[in-house]
């Protein structure tokens, strides 16, 4: 277990029922990119689910399609391509070959992405957050597990995410129970 995932499990108790381990090779084929190892470890420990009644952590092929990484990522890729015909896209997307892969969303309509760049190291991907309006973006140079632990313990505060997130007492509800 990575130090960041260990830190996260101290803040947010994992579910006892994570379901089957995703077929990582199949997911990476569909997404056309390797997934970060800390994310795989996170999903194997927690599964997809609801963090503090607000953040929806996505997992590949989740039976509850609201939490399905593959479905939501494909929808967001299509939606962003349409939006960016009329609206400014984030500066990071001006570079040829860059893509976004959505790994979480929220009840309020914000999206959390990895910035995927050609020939990048999946374990060093930047986290980008997009506001519900689509206009504002935040950038975090950290892994998913480091980001989640930092948000939950108050080390990182997002101006985009809901001001009541995180909760004082952290809660995780597995997608399998939703």
The pLDDT > 70 percentage for the chain reads 99
- pLDDT for the residue 38: 96
Q: Is residue 96 predicted with pLDDT exceeding 80?
A: yes
Tell me which of 3.40.50, 3.40.1580, 2.40.128, 2.60.40 is the CATH number of domain 3-177: 3.40.1580
- pLDDT for the residue 88: 84
Integer angstrom CA distances of residue 86 from 51, 75, 89, 109, 110: 33, 18, 9, 20, 19
User: Mean pLDDT for the chain?
Assistant: 93
- pLDDT for the residue 117: 96
- pLDDT-based confidence at residue 176 (cuts at 50, 70, 90): confident
- pLDDT-based confidence at residue 111 (cuts at 50, 70, 90): very high
- pLDDT for the residue 170: 95
CA distance 170 to 67: 19
- pLDDT for the residue 126: 95
- pLDDT for the residue 1: 79
> Long-range contacts of range 63-67, CB-CB < 8 Å, 24 or more positions apart?
63/19, 63/175, 63/176, 64/175, 64/176, 64/178, 66/175, 66/178, 67/175, 67/178
- pLDDT for the residue 114: 97
> Do strands 99-106 and 49-51 pair parallel, antiparallel, or not at all (unpaired)?
unpaired
What does the domain layout of the chain look like in residue ranges? Answer: 3-177
CA distance 30 to 27: 5
- pLDDT for the residue 141: 96
| Geometric angle at alpha carbon 144, from 160 and 109, rounded to 5° | 35
Read off the pLDDT of residues 24-56 as tens digits, 9 standing for 90 and up.
Answer: 999 999 999 999 999 999 999 999 999 999 999
SS3 state of residue 132: coil
């Amino acid at each position: 277990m990575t130090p960041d995932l260990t830190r996260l499990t101290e803040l947010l108790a994992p579910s006892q029922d994570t379901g089957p381990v995703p077929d990582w090779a199949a997911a990476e084929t569909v997404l056309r990119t390797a997934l970060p190892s800390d994310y795989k470890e996170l999903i194997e420990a927690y599964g997809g689910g609801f963090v503090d009644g607000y953040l929806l952590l996505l997992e590949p092929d989740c039976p509850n399609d609201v939490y399905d990484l593959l479905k939501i990522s494909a929808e967001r890729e299509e939606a962003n391509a349409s939006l960016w015909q009329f609206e400014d896209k984030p500066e990071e997307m001006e570079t040829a070959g860059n893509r976004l892969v959505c790994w979480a969303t929220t009840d309020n309509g914000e999206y959390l992405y990895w910035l995927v760049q050609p020939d990048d190291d999946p374990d060093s991907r930047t986290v980008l957050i997009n506001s519900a309006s689509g206009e504002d973006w935040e950038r975090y140079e950290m892994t998913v597990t480091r980001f989640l632990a930092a948000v939950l313990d108050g080390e990182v505060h997002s101006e985009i995410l809901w001001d009541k997130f995180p909760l004082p007492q952290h809660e995780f509800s597995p997608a399998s129970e939703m």
